[in-house]
Structure 1
Amino acid sequence: MSLVSANSTDGFERQSIAAFSEQAYLNYAMYVILDRALPNVCDGLKPVQRRIIYAMSELGLNAGAKHKKSARTVGDVIGKFHPHGDSACYEAMVLMAQPFSYRYPLIDGQGNFGSPDDPKSFAAMRYTESRLTAYAQSLLSEAGQGTVDWQPNFDGTLEEPVLLPARLPNVLLNGGMGIAVGLSTDIPPHNLREVVNATIALIDNPESTVDELCQHVRGPDFPTEGEITTPPDEILQMYRTGTGNVRQRARYEVEQGEIVISALPFQVSGSKVLEQIAAQMNAKKLPLVTDLRDESDHEAPTRLVIVPRSRQVDTEALMAHLFATTDLEKSYRVNMNVIALDGRPRVMNLRELLSEWLVFRQQTLTRRLTWRLAKVDLRLEILAGLMIAFLNIDEVIAVIREADEPKAELIARFDLTERQAEAILEIRLRQLAKLEEIALRKEQDALSAEAAQLRALLADESALRGLMRDELKADAQTYGDARRSRLVTRGAAQALAETDLMSAEPVTVVLSKNGWIRAAKGHDVDAHALSYKAGDECLAFDHGKSTQSVVVFDDTGRAYSLSAHSLPSARGQGEPLTGRLSPPTGAQFTALVLAEESDHVLLWQNTSYGFIAPYTELLGRQRAGKVVVSLGDGARLGTPLKLSDKHVRIAVAGSNGHVLIIDRSEIPVLGKGKGNKLLSGKAGIEIVAVCALKDGEWLKVQSGARSVTLRGTDFDNYRGARASRGRLLPRGFQRVDGLLATEE
């Protein structure tokens, strides 16, 4: 077709930029898809990999040959077959030589070919040497036996194979990954013996389902010895659809209280893992670990040691946290997208992929047998002519000595073909011995038997499939090995909560009148004796643990949550709460409480209303807090009272000198609100103190420097129903300064 458009008058083609760009981009996309990024289902190789292996075989760098400089190979590859950058070509070559990257390496490297910590730390190609591995022969051994099509190289001076005649489904064995235009592929590596067993099962029963094939292929088999933790049903679904995910985690043992990591997931760097753990330690987010060591060497390529803080640390919980927060557990995307036999990319499930490869293998085997049969027939033709010459040796010699055209004369006299006549003319005198005739007869008998066998194989498809089965078994015996990646069903790892990672140390949280907060270690801290800023003083304090959450209240009834371990040390003067929280304008912080999440808190107002709130209802993440107590006009929130399950009664004292002891069950349990009336009295009567009592405890009333304990009958006299008036205290104790629980 002419490149000149129909309306062209000056010999130039005229085309819109949109049409040209679209066509150019499509051409580029198809090139990247078919000739760069995606592997072929037949040999499992991309073009650059195929050209490297073929170029090395042409250089004679087989498994038994001496290593040669990698630069020599790269030069041949880019000079003869692959006109691209030498660095990209060498990197592809190095990848095929790394035993931690390829399940079955195709290249045997000598020198620095990188390490699992840094796969790209390989030496320059002028320093390293390489040759093919024995496994690479499974791709090349039949290349010269008429099994492949050939195409001209980029400049048309040489020929290269379109595909390599792989004797094994390499596309599954070594897997592959690549990103094309709009397409990508991620095929995990597999165990050779398992894949061969599945392939043989498909040969024996072409109607086998994916589920039946998965009885042989249990899952991917990565070069590293980490554990595959994906559940079997997810792996089965992955093979049914050709897409999915696989999780692999490190293997570890506990030795003398230390955690020793002996195997890492595929493509995970040990040094990076140690950096990730060290970063958590430096940020004080991993106090359960005190030390890290890398004891890897030649005898133990992976040996990372994690030293827990003590033997009481739950190693399984710690490792679950590290699996969730570091690369000790990694998820791999699976997308078995390959170039099919029809030359089009397609995502295949396990059965489709093996079926396509078997079609290719049967075609390759047929071409190999046909090529061999042609060679045998040709040799038999020549042998037949030689036998005629031996039976008529004197006459043949006479013709050769006397005839002007001995070749034509031989053809005419003995009814020979041109090949037979040419072979007779090339016989040396020493080949006329009797022993040579016997050798020719033996060769003729052997080749005749071989030709009959080859014709039988080519005529019988079941016999051909039997030969495929036998060759697969032989190759599995030669190249197969045990599975490396153990299959262990485990749930997804969960990171520990920040408080679970910390030791529960006793702390005293102190809130000042001006809204500054801090935490002191221990419970024997005198909050009032601490140093405060000028004009500031202690407002409230509470004892608890560093793993608990602090709830701070303001005068609008809002509750705010903070982690106790995140508070500044009491060695200083703390920090203002307004730097962490966003209270309403003009609001003042009035109280705090520090309790376990299983506890409850009595929230009461001076106006005699109150309710019991679960501590978890007070917690929240909002900087602006959340409204918990509905305060009426003139109402103030009293000091929250912590309640455990053992507290059965609540004592309430009024400003009129009355005390009422209520059963806890009468006070409502609410998440938020105003609550119910606790103590009745005349207008203006307020609650001044509350106290929680356990069974067996009495009530001690503090009035100035004096106190009185209500016990026995006196104690019972103050008990009553909620919202009743209670009973007046004895003279001299009607100004209540505090209520305390006592066993005296």
Structure 2
Amino acid sequence: MSDMPMLPEEDESVSLRDYAEKAYLDYSMYVILDRALPNVGDGLKPVQRRIIYAMSELGLKASAKYKKSARTVGDVIGKFHPHGDSAAYEAMVLMAQPFSYRYPLVDGQGNWGSADDPKSFAAMRYTESRLTAYADALLGELGQGTVDWVPNFDGTMDEPSVLPAQVPNVLLNGTTGIAVGMATDIPPHNLREVVSATIRLLEYPKSTLDELCEHIQAPDFPTQAEIITPRDEIKAFYRSGRGSIKMRAHWRKEDGAIIVDALPHQVSGAKVLEQIAAQMQAKKLPLVNDLRDESDHENPTRLVIVPKSNRVDIDALMLHLFATTDLERSYRINLNLIGNNGRPGVKSLDAILREWLEFRTETVRRRLQYRLEKVLKRLHLLEGYLIAYLNIDEVIHIIRTEDKPKPVLMQRFGLSDAQAEAVLELKLRNLAKLEEMKIRGEQDELEKEREQLELTLGSTARMRTLIKKELLAVAEQFGDERSSPLVAREEAKAFSEKELMSTEPITVVLSEKGWIRAAKGHDIDPTSLSYKAGDNFNLAAAGRSNQSAILIDSTGRAYTLPTHNLPSARGQGEPVTGRISPPPGVGFKALLLGDERQKILLASDAGYGFVTELGHLMAKNKAGKAILNLPNGSEVLPPAQVPPGDDLLVAAVSTEGRLLVFPLADLPELARGKGNKILSVPSARVKSREEMVKGIAVLTQESRLVLHAGKRHLTLKVSELDHYRGERGRRGSKLPRGLQNVDYLVAEHPDAT
């Protein structure tokens, strides 16, 4: 410590750097140790401890009459805590709010704030207060030699350095605080759970954290909102001392509306409604029709959210609100406190309980030792009283005749100084009342108590039993059921922009020259729309406005376009290349619109293909993504939609007039690739474009296959396709004369709309 800079004395000079460093270090240590962090013993910061002690000195026990809060604050700042009265009063208010403290220490009368606005409490000149019954668990043993006393700020009186807490209050009520270079965030816990874990550790000192977590499953806040953090994550922050925990509002359905009846800790219902209303005004929440706050005295929290209609997915709506409002909130965990050694540190749950048990054991030992000394002192005096009683006449004679009777009594009867002093201080009437039986009776009782005290002090097992018994008594008196249930819930997820859109039926139309637009409804004839000079209809697809359109070009790449902002079909649209970036000179072979889980059959005219979902075709960037690998010389075929059902069939027809039908199950399901052979076409003839697959279709057992060749067409039921059935990859069978030059084929499903 010789190199530690000292403050200047008289003419001694110190560099400004050393002086500032020393001053800031002193200030930092003061803030850490004497203001911001709680003590592991009683779980209180100095201001809280001083408020509780000052109230007890004013006689404000739970059974006393209420007294003006200003009186308490005056004593606190005048005798123990020389800081601002508003700071002391706010600390006092916090300990009185049942929605802030799991086990309040102050019983307030008047306006002490509300859960909706904790800062709305009345001034201290209006409110009244006294201690709660639970505060006695911290103060009950204060005058029994249990803790050290230190001088107050001006040295005129003493105050306890820590309160002799009978339970681990540091975990029960938790605390938050910001010091210099460190902070603390200790969540509250359930008294019965903490006592149960403490007793487990008391009885089995080698208990692991996992074993203690069987008793303490999670923090327990003063609200019925749900804790949704997984047990493994909770154990992780109990082990490291740092982490976070999530709480989610409790809600239920009532007459088609959503009723929120419990909010996360320290969340304002008014603020939540403001957050939801802001989304509604910004047209980002079209699913909600109305909001109401029906909270009253009987229902402290009752927020009503009315959906737009009964078709709204309420569960999905609530997941969105959890993700975007304070209906779900995360709380930082930082188990930083001052240990028994007087130093701050971040500790694990088991380390906190072990330290507290050390503190409690020492407190109980000091209490018993203090009582034992009292008992021994009283026994010593009773022994002197008994001698005086048995020799009462001689004692009175000595007192009457001697100038200094004390040394004479000590010499004559072998009394100690304390015994002689006690005999001399007895009033004459008490001497007359002294009875041998009463003295001996009190001696017997005190001897038994002395024996028990010495046995307990000399036995670790007896000490543990006593601590356990006292812990159980406090748990029995103040314990309650868990307030915040621990529940596994689905992760909150905000709606995407697409999910929040209206879901109107639309038809997307693409022209030959790549101009795209969207028309409302499905009863649109795309060929009847107006097109620019030299341009004509190319592709169309029907779907809904919250679905994305998928374009497939001639190279097998897929592109995704949101449909809600496409230009109206009343005009002629806009170039699709303004929204996507296909390679120069490519054309578009397919336009798809539907649910991401919708399956399609994707194939090339070389005769290869596979089954995939629309979701696999969706690309995030403007350049799209490669989906179908094309053999040399081949092109993309228009995809075939896969209808729901079993025993589906694939029908493929070639330019040679050959038709092959086989089970769809023979083709693989892929996200991208070339696929497997559907219908056999010589690769050389594909390169020269002499022969290729003309079209594909997917059939159910009830479907009909319609083949179009010029002005002629042929409709076949599935039962009439037996002649064309074969193994996947075969050449297929010839179609009747006149239908061998097929232009296209269509699958007609009986349930198609």
| Deviation larger for 92-101 or 428-437 | 428-437
1:116 counterpart residue number: 115
Tell me the SS of whatever aligns to 2:452: helix
Tell me the SS of whatever aligns to 1:562: strand
- Alignment of 1:699 with 2:699, yes or no, is no
Structure 2 vs 1, CA of residues 386 and 576 (structure 1 numbering), >3 Å: closer, same or farther? farther
Native 8 Å contact 1:143 1:165 kept in 2: yes
Structure 2 vs 1, CA of residues 273 and 575 (structure 1 numbering), >3 Å: closer, same or farther? farther
Native 8 Å contact 1:4 1:13 kept in 2: no
**Which blocks of at least 5 consecutive residues in structure 2 are unaligned?**
none
| Deviation larger for 176-185 or 629-638 | 629-638
Native 8 Å contact 2:696 2:745 kept in 1: yes
Task: Provide the rounded CA distance (Å) in 2 between the counterparts of 1:716 and 1:212.
Answer: 69
Which amino acid in 2 is paired with 1:648? Answer: V
Tell me the SS of whatever aligns to 2:366: helix
State how 1:310-709 maps to structure 2 within 5 Å.
315-316=314-315, 318-407=317-406, 410-434=409-433, 442-490=441-489, 492-493=491-492, 505-511=504-510, 517-527=516-526, 540-552=539-551, 558-565=557-564, 567=566, 580-581=579-580, 592-596=591-595, 597-600=597-600, 602=602, 614=612, 615-627=614-626, 642=641, 644=643, 646=648, 648-651=650-653, 661=659, 671=672, 692=697, 694=699, 697-699=704-706, 701=708, 708-709=713-714
1:52 counterpart residue number: 51
Native 8 Å contact 1:288 1:502 kept in 2: no
Shift of the alpha carbon at 1:264?
3.0
Native 8 Å contact 2:66 2:129 kept in 1: yes
Native 8 Å contact 1:173 1:192 kept in 2: yes
Tell me the SS of whatever aligns to 2:134: coil
Native 8 Å contact 1:32 1:181 kept in 2: yes
State how 1:281-296 maps to structure 2 within 5 Å.
289-296=288-295
| Deviation larger for 153-162 or 117-126 | 117-126
1:344-366 Cα deviation digits (max 9, x unpaired): 23343333322221221121112
State how 1:60-79 maps to structure 2 within 5 Å.
60-79=59-78
Native 8 Å contact 1:540 1:591 kept in 2: yes
Structure 2 vs 1, CA of residues 708 and 148 (structure 1 numbering), >3 Å: closer, same or farther? closer
Shift of the alpha carbon at 1:234?
4.6
Shift of the alpha carbon at 1:683?
6.9
Native 8 Å contact 1:691 1:741 kept in 2: no
State how 1:30-49 maps to structure 2 within 5 Å.
30-49=29-48
1:441-471 Cα deviation digits (max 9, x unpaired): 5544443443343333323333232222222
Which amino acid in 2 is paired with 1:93? Answer: M
| Deviation larger for 197-206 or 588-597 | 588-597
Structure 2 vs 1, CA of residues 35 and 579 (structure 1 numbering), >3 Å: closer, same or farther? farther
1:265 counterpart residue number: 264
Native 8 Å contact 2:681 2:693 kept in 1: no
Which amino acid in 2 is paired with 1:191? Answer: N
Native 8 Å contact 1:385 1:416 kept in 2: yes
2:221 counterpart residue number: 222
Which amino acid in 1 is paired with 2:168? Answer: P
Shift of the alpha carbon at 1:699?
3.5
Task: Provide the rounded CA distance (Å) in 2 between the counterparts of 1:35 and 1:741.
Answer: 82
Shift of the alpha carbon at 1:543?
0.6
Shift of the alpha carbon at 1:245?
4.5
Structure 2 vs 1, CA of residues 86 and 636 (structure 1 numbering), >3 Å: closer, same or farther? farther
Structure 2 vs 1, CA of residues 613 and 131 (structure 1 numbering), >3 Å: closer, same or farther? same
Task: Provide the rounded CA distance (Å) in 2 between the counterparts of 1:446 and 1:33.
Answer: 48
Native 8 Å contact 2:668 2:675 kept in 1: no
Shift of the alpha carbon at 1:431?
3.1
Task: Provide the rounded CA distance (Å) in 1 between the counterparts of 2:387 and 2:164.
Answer: 39
1:130-159 Cα deviation digits (max 9, x unpaired): 222111111111112211111222232332
Which amino acid in 2 is paired with 1:594? Answer: L
Q: Give the TM-score normalised by the residue count of structure 2.
A: 0.80
Task: Provide the rounded CA distance (Å) in 2 between the counterparts of 1:743 and 1:333.
Answer: 58
Native 8 Å contact 1:660 1:727 kept in 2: yes
Structure 2 vs 1, CA of residues 674 and 455 (structure 1 numbering), >3 Å: closer, same or farther? closer
Structure 2 vs 1, CA of residues 591 and 710 (structure 1 numbering), >3 Å: closer, same or farther? closer
Task: Provide the rounded CA distance (Å) in 2 between the counterparts of 1:667 and 1:207.
Answer: 61
Structure 2 vs 1, CA of residues 548 and 206 (structure 1 numbering), >3 Å: closer, same or farther? same
Task: Provide the rounded CA distance (Å) in 2 between the counterparts of 1:32 and 1:24.
Answer: 12
| Deviation larger for 670-679 or 426-435 | 670-679
Tell me the SS of whatever aligns to 2:96: coil
Which amino acid in 2 is paired with 1:699? Answer: V
Task: Provide the rounded CA distance (Å) in 1 between the counterparts of 2:308 and 2:570.
Answer: 26
Task: Provide the rounded CA distance (Å) in 2 between the counterparts of 1:9 and 1:105.
Answer: 48
1:319-346 Cα deviation digits (max 9, x unpaired): 4554455444444444433322122233
1:178 counterpart residue number: 177
Shift of the alpha carbon at 1:174?
1.6
Task: Provide the rounded CA distance (Å) in 2 between the counterparts of 1:310 and 1:572.
Answer: 33
Native 8 Å contact 2:602 2:609 kept in 1: yes
Tell me the SS of whatever aligns to 1:561: strand
Question: How large is the RMSD of aligned CA atoms in angstroms?
Answer: 4.8
Q: Give the TM-score normalised by the residue count of structure 1.
A: 0.81
1:192-223 Cα deviation digits (max 9, x unpaired): 12222222233333333334333433332222
1:628-674 Cα deviation digits (max 9, x unpaired): 57899999978666555756224577xxxx86656588999983689
Native 8 Å contact 1:32 1:180 kept in 2: yes
User: How many residues get paired?
Assistant: 732
Structure 2 vs 1, CA of residues 267 and 584 (structure 1 numbering), >3 Å: closer, same or farther? farther
Structure 2 vs 1, CA of residues 117 and 611 (structure 1 numbering), >3 Å: closer, same or farther? same
Tell me the SS of whatever aligns to 1:487: coil
Task: Provide the rounded CA distance (Å) in 1 between the counterparts of 2:456 and 2:548.
Answer: 79
Native 8 Å contact 1:717 1:727 kept in 2: no
Shift of the alpha carbon at 1:290?
4.2
Tell me the SS of whatever aligns to 1:135: helix
1:197 counterpart residue number: 196
Task: Provide the rounded CA distance (Å) in 2 between the counterparts of 1:622 and 1:4.
Answer: 63
Structure 2 vs 1, CA of residues 742 and 560 (structure 1 numbering), >3 Å: closer, same or farther? closer
Native 8 Å contact 1:613 1:672 kept in 2: no
1:39-66 Cα deviation digits (max 9, x unpaired): 2211111222222222222232222223
Structure 2 vs 1, CA of residues 346 and 396 (structure 1 numbering), >3 Å: closer, same or farther? same
| Deviation larger for 270-279 or 291-300 | 270-279
Task: Provide the rounded CA distance (Å) in 2 between the counterparts of 1:197 and 1:5.
Answer: 49
Tell me the SS of whatever aligns to 1:262: strand
Structure 2 vs 1, CA of residues 683 and 636 (structure 1 numbering), >3 Å: closer, same or farther? closer
1:240-293 Cα deviation digits (max 9, x unpaired): 454455444333333344443333333333344444445555566655554444
Structure 2 vs 1, CA of residues 125 and 530 (structure 1 numbering), >3 Å: closer, same or farther? farther
Native 8 Å contact 1:512 1:537 kept in 2: yes
Which amino acid in 1 is paired with 2:547? Answer: Q
Task: Provide the rounded CA distance (Å) in 2 between the counterparts of 1:640 and 1:710.
Answer: 21
1:91 counterpart residue number: 90
Structure 2 vs 1, CA of residues 693 and 207 (structure 1 numbering), >3 Å: closer, same or farther? closer
Task: Provide the rounded CA distance (Å) in 1 between the counterparts of 2:455 and 2:617.
Answer: 85
Task: Provide the rounded CA distance (Å) in 2 between the counterparts of 1:564 and 1:310.
Answer: 24
Structure 2 vs 1, CA of residues 569 and 304 (structure 1 numbering), >3 Å: closer, same or farther? farther
Identity %: 56
Task: Provide the rounded CA distance (Å) in 1 between the counterparts of 2:350 and 2:143.
Answer: 30
Task: Provide the rounded CA distance (Å) in 2 between the counterparts of 1:718 and 1:375.
Answer: 110
Native 8 Å contact 2:228 2:486 kept in 1: yes
Task: Provide the rounded CA distance (Å) in 2 between the counterparts of 1:195 and 1:628.
Answer: 59
Structure 2 vs 1, CA of residues 529 and 70 (structure 1 numbering), >3 Å: closer, same or farther? farther
Task: Provide the rounded CA distance (Å) in 2 between the counterparts of 1:668 and 1:173.
Answer: 60
Task: Provide the rounded CA distance (Å) in 1 between the counterparts of 2:5 and 2:229.
Answer: 59
Shift of the alpha carbon at 1:561?
0.9
